[in-house]
Amino acid sequence: MIDIHCHPLPETDDGAKTFDDAVEMCRMAADDGTTHLVATPHCNYTYPFKPEANEQKLRELQAAVGPEPKLLLGCDFHLSYDNIQQIVRDRGSYTINRTRYLLVEFDDHFVPQNMDNVFYDLQVARLVPILTHPERNPVFQRKPEILYQWVMRGCLTQLTAKSYTGGFGSRARGLCEFWLDRNLVHFFASDAHDVKYRPPLLSVCYEKLVESKGQAEAVRIMKRNPEAVINDAHLPPAPEPVTAPARKRSWFSLLRRHA
């Protein structure tokens, strides 16, 4: 498995607190079956993003951990005006392994009305936005249909493995299942911050995905898709996204079946 969203770099954001914590996170991920792990420090108003310092910490962490998992660098990119201006000038410091793929995070309380324009600007800059953990965002929980709209505009989606297995509550789990049924999910990642409460574990999610959707779909979402991302390749073919039926049954009524 390949984890494209994790926070193991020590003393960088709200992830690993110490270097020893970071080493333990990486070794836990490797023992769980993760072959590649992308360190994605936050880039927001609380945690300034420091590319050179992050690269140095990544090298030190890889040396301490050993060859597995292979550590790569990315960014948990908060969508703001200042950040967008910066990434247009220096995309390589923020994207996953210096590819075209960028993890983007929404505000917890609102999604700006001009997001279509924002995503258009990113795509004009030859970037592919990957929306992070929308199932945990109150805006998407109220309006799950907007995910379909942005996927159809070329955005990809990354859900949290622990959400799918119930660790973030029934509403987040229900949204994961709801969007999976509609072919709107491209990745599961750990979004790990520690080894106790939010550990870097993917195998339980993988097993549930095999049971629910079959081996081929689990391999595509948790191995082949993230492999394409870290190698700057196109994602493999996938089923077409579908929207919920209109008229008699709302998105909310359908979602309740999965909660």
pLDDT in the model for residue 247: 45
Mean pLDDT within 19-43: 97
Rounded percentage of the chain residues whose pLDDT exceeds 90: 67
Domains of the chain, start order: 2-256 (3.20.20.140)
For the chain, the helix, strand and coil percentages under 3-state DSSP, each to the nearest 5: 45, 15, 40
Residue range 194-234, pLDDT digits in tens: 999 999 999 999 999 999 999 999 999 999 999 999 999 99
pLDDT in the model for residue 243: 80
Residue 252, pLDDT above cutoff 80: no
Mean pLDDT for the chain? Answer: 89
Residue range 132-171, pLDDT digits in tens: 999 998 888 888 888 998 899 889 999 999 999 999 999 9
Residue 125: pLDDT band (50, 70, 90) is confident
User: What is the Cα–Cα distance from 157 to 182, expressed in whole angstroms?
Assistant: 12
3-state secondary structure (DSSP) of residue 226: helix
Mean pLDDT within 10-14: 92
pTM over 0.85: yes
Mean pLDDT within 29-55: 92
Determine contact, residues 47/75, Cβ cutoff 8 Å.
no
In the block, tokens 């779909």 appear at: 217
Which of 101-115, 120-134, 225-239, 240-254 holds the top average pLDDT?
225-239
Q: Which run of H or E residues covers position 3?
A: strand 2-6
User: What is the Cα–Cα distance from 200 to 223, expressed in whole angstroms?
Assistant: 16
3-state secondary structure (DSSP) of residue 74: coil
Question: Token digits for 21?
Answer: 């914590």
The residues that bridge with 189 in the sheet, in sequence order, are: 160
Q: Which of 159, 167, 111, 104 is nearest to 135 (CA)?
A: 159
∠ Cα 147 148 151 (to 5°): 85
Residue 248, pLDDT above cutoff 70: no
For residue 144, the 8-state DSSP code is T
Residue 120: pLDDT band (50, 70, 90) is confident
Residue 246, pLDDT above cutoff 90: no
